[in-house]
Structure 1
Amino acid sequence: MEPTTTIRSYIEDYIRKQGYTLQYFADISGVNAGTLSAIIKGTRPIAMAQLDLITQGMKLEEGYFYEIYGAECFVESAPHWRRLEPFLQRCAELDKLECIQKIIQEVTDDRSYISELFEMAEGMLERGQQQAARMLYECVAECEKYQHSERLALCQYRIFTLSLGQNQHDNLRAAVHFEPYINRLDEERQLDAIKDLANTYASLRYRDKAFDLAEELDQKTKILQSYTKKKIDKCDRLTAYPLFVYRAYSNLLKSSACEKQGRYEEALLYTEVYAKLAKVPEPDEEDQIYIDKFAGWAEANTYLYKLMMGDQNVLPAYVEFIERNEEEILPAIINILEAANKFDRNIDDILNRFSDRINSEINGLKGYTEQMKNEIYAAFLLERSLYHLNRHEYSEGLKQLMCCLRESVRFNNQTDIIHCISLYEKYKNMGTTEIEYQYKLIMMEVQKSYEKKEDLLCNLA
């Protein structure tokens, strides 16, 4: 199709080549003959619904004319929101993201559409059209980058959450970019933003940063609770959860940060705090869900911290807890593996007991963000590899190590990549030719990845 071809001329050529009368094409397309005539003559603009009917009547794929339609209606002439809105929505529905990008770049010179674009992005996000929504948020944020507005901050928050994925380097960059905007958000929305940011830094293993954000979350929630005496109805509140959840969760984050730094006694203290904070008077159905969650986490983490302090007497109770709470099997097994590696314990019976359920949960972790799922899976592979290597089961240990290295490369988790490489260098003489071959293939992937980055930097220079 030539760039100069208009939709009107394309329709006219199609009707002529097919030997149709105008009335016949009107009948098969479902567009009124008079309307169709006016469209071809150029005396009437084409509405989105009419364009879709005409496209269907010509037996073309949905959205076939969208690129030309966008140029004709919104680039070459002044756009009107009444026509722009359905076009952007249909592009989102059909995943025509390039069309959206081209149009919003053109129309943002008219700042009168910024409010509408933001509201549309919110609607797209609710409908799960995340990529299209992100484009609109980025457009609004760019137009308002010099404004000290809550809408700009909310756009940056949405962009941050939509940016999080499997690449840890990209996640760190997204977190650093978003952090300065938190205090511009509404006080209630700040709680979710701080929680999400703390989770991100925790997954990136910035323990001190996660702890500081958890403390900030605790303080801001306490202040909000002090002048919000009456319980806010779920339909009216801006927060994703009841207020008590944020204080309890902030202390859960603190306990987790302490645990990862080997400060188990402090971790136990924070566990006692969030166990108390998660008990609220006259809980409703929603409250009870979170009360039960925190009670389960408190019980499991109490076993864990005592186990990591060398108290093996809690292991039977911990295993019994896992039996009752199957959704926590994999995280709990990682903890038990870590304790076994630390204290040189044999837990073959526990691994065998849960082997089938471990494998099924790896493929279906629930209740965690993608970041946390990746972190949990990599931690499991690494701890299991260490367990077998420590017990001189080199074949199985190196096999698990290659799986961990492969996943760490895929997630761009540099800390685990370095750890895996150092372990391989230590035990490589115990490996087989197949393990050596797998290692070389993975290292070739790492090299290609760095070469791509270097090429990109050279092109940007």
Structure 2
Amino acid sequence: MENKLTTLRSAIEENLSRSGYNLASFAKVSGLNRGSLSAILHGHPPKPVSLGQLDTLTEALGYPEGWFYPLYVDECFSEEKISRRRVEPFLVRCAITGRQQCIDESISRIMEYQKPLDVIYSVAEKLFACGKIQESKPFYKIIVEHEQDGYSERMAISQYRLFKALGTVADTEDMLRGVIAFEPFRGRLPEHLQLDGLLKLANVCYSLHRWDDMGKYADELRSLATGTYREQLRQKAGRRSGELQLLRPLVLYYGHGHLMKATSLTKQGKYEEAITFTNLYADLGWFEVLDEEGKRLVDAFRSYAVGNRYTLELLKGNITVLSDYIAYLEEYPSEVLAGLLSILEAANRFGFSADHVLERFSKEMTGFDRFKDYINIDRIYRLGYQLAAYYLERGQAQRGVTYILQCLKTAVLLNSARDMIECVALFEANRGQASRQQLQRYSELIRGLGPQKEPAEEGRLLSGTTERSI
């Protein structure tokens, strides 16, 4: 049935005859209306077949779903126009079931008609709305490649959808390309998508260590969230309807704008400025228009602020907060990775022992591999690197080199040139202390340098954790 040797109607009639059905008996078996079947097969002109009718008919004949799809393409087109009522659900179904040949033929024919992108964009949005994110990407890419109005909302939304579709664990080069492609379109989105797009931009820049860019997008997110909040208050005071339908509660965007600004400043060593922004999301109880989810988010931001204040104090050299920080991490186990990273960074910078901390959280560290997003793979990498430096400094060379090799493996899998160079430099500085087996493993990893995919399954250092997002 894959070869288009016949028409849809002749194929149906042939199968009915072969199975011993007439219209009356098949109508009874399939549940389809006999009159509709007659109009489809014998009408002048024949009645079009809906996708639902075709699927019902296919099942009644005992064929797998999509058996007649290659013949259905003609049903979606006439000389004058495209039947959107048929072609859109057909393309959605083909995308979900992996019928690429049917998609390619349909798209080729759609592009011959006027306003073809209207149909393709509608299909992309339907797929995205039902959670078929990866399946929607090829359709959005067609919009991006063929849309002549670069300032259209459709173009901006297509770029946004492609950016949002970045995998949970992505090649760093893919992430950078995604930022470059989406960044010019962020301000052309509807406001509720602007908020979400800026949040994603800031998160991806965190993974790429682009601290200035992260701070810039955090500033834009704070400004837009503040303006949106004021507009919501005006609408509430004026008892006006038409409240903006956001993807997440507004307090999430507002709080994250300040949290990410503080994070970008922390990474640049601007600790006092970071404390100022940390204080701004520490207590958001004044925020109006809070539902139950919003109240939960306020509590979560309050908790994050406590942990991040400990981080800032440690990075400033105030080691007296260490015991309190440990108690905090015991109360909030989801923060253990972030906390250990901060503690190890401070221990390496100021020379204090963190052995008791690592022993206390050794069990939690073994469970990190349940987390798989790209932000936390980066956290895991950086914790491994800090552990390597920590043990090398304390004369535990074999242990330190083991962590270097684990870090290098993750850097290769993530295709992060920055991290690969960092690991190679640290290994070469300590090559003389590596065992024969470690030297061999290092050689194997060096030979494998280059773009790799699907790091989620292999690139584990210690395991993973959750980014401080809600």
Deviation string for 1:377-426 (max 9, x for gaps)? 22222222222222222333222222222222122122111111112212
Matched residue, 2:364: 357
Contact 1:278-1:290 within 8 A present in 2 as well: no
Structural mapping, 1:20-419, within 5 Å: 29-31=30-32, 43-70=46-73, 73-74=76-77, 78-97=81-100, 99-112=102-115, 114-115=117-118, 117-146=120-149, 148-164=151-167, 165-230=169-234, 236-276=243-283, 279-280=286-287, 283-364=290-371, 370-419=373-422
Check 1:169–1:7 CA distance in 2 against 1; reply closer, same or farther (3 A cut): same
Residue aligned with 1:64, SS: coil
AA aligned opposite 1:2: N
Distance in 2 of aligned mates of 1:70 and 1:9: 15
AA aligned opposite 1:252: L
Residue aligned with 1:166, SS: coil
Contact 1:385-1:400 within 8 A present in 2 as well: yes
Deviation string for 1:327-384 (max 9, x for gaps)? 111111111121122223222222122122222233136xxxx331222222222222
AA aligned opposite 2:173: H
Deviation string for 1:287-312 (max 9, x for gaps)? 31121121111110110111111111
Check 1:391–1:13 CA distance in 2 against 1; reply closer, same or farther (3 A cut): farther
Distance in 1 of aligned mates of 2:446 and 2:104: 37
Gaps of 5+ in 1: 451-461
Contact 1:278-1:294 within 8 A present in 2 as well: no
- Mean alpha-carbon deviation: is it higher for 332-341 or for 96-105? 96-105
Deviation string for 1:410-453 (max 9, x for gaps)? 22122111111112212233223332332233223225869xxx
Distance in 2 of aligned mates of 1:422 and 1:290: 42
- Mean alpha-carbon deviation: is it higher for 124-133 or for 323-332? 124-133
Contact 2:283-2:298 within 8 A present in 1 as well: no
Bigger relative contact order, structure 1 or 2 (CA pairs below 8 A, ≥6 apart): 2
Check 1:5–1:399 CA distance in 2 against 1; reply closer, same or farther (3 A cut): farther
> May I ask how many residue pairs the two structures share in their alignment?
446
AA aligned opposite 1:344: G
Contact 2:415-2:452 within 8 A present in 1 as well: no
- Mean alpha-carbon deviation: is it higher for 32-41 or for 200-209? 32-41
Distance in 1 of aligned mates of 2:76 and 2:252: 49
Distance in 2 of aligned mates of 1:234 and 1:32: 46
Deviation string for 1:132-173 (max 9, x for gaps)? 322333334444332522232222211211135511111111
Check 1:15–1:240 CA distance in 2 against 1; reply closer, same or farther (3 A cut): closer
Check 1:444–1:230 CA distance in 2 against 1; reply closer, same or farther (3 A cut): same
Matched residue, 2:438: 435
Task: Calculate the aligned-residue CA RMSD, in Å.
Answer: 3.2
- TM-score w.r.t. structure 1 length? 0.85
Gaps of 5+ in 2: 454-470
AA aligned opposite 1:249: H
Distance in 2 of aligned mates of 1:234 and 1:362: 46
Check 1:170–1:141 CA distance in 2 against 1; reply closer, same or farther (3 A cut): same
- TM-score w.r.t. structure 2 length? 0.83
Check 1:318–1:149 CA distance in 2 against 1; reply closer, same or farther (3 A cut): same
Distance in 2 of aligned mates of 1:163 and 1:125: 13
Distance in 2 of aligned mates of 1:333 and 1:140: 45
Residue aligned with 2:320, SS: helix
Check 1:210–1:39 CA distance in 2 against 1; reply closer, same or farther (3 A cut): same
- 1:107 Cα deviation after fit: 1.4
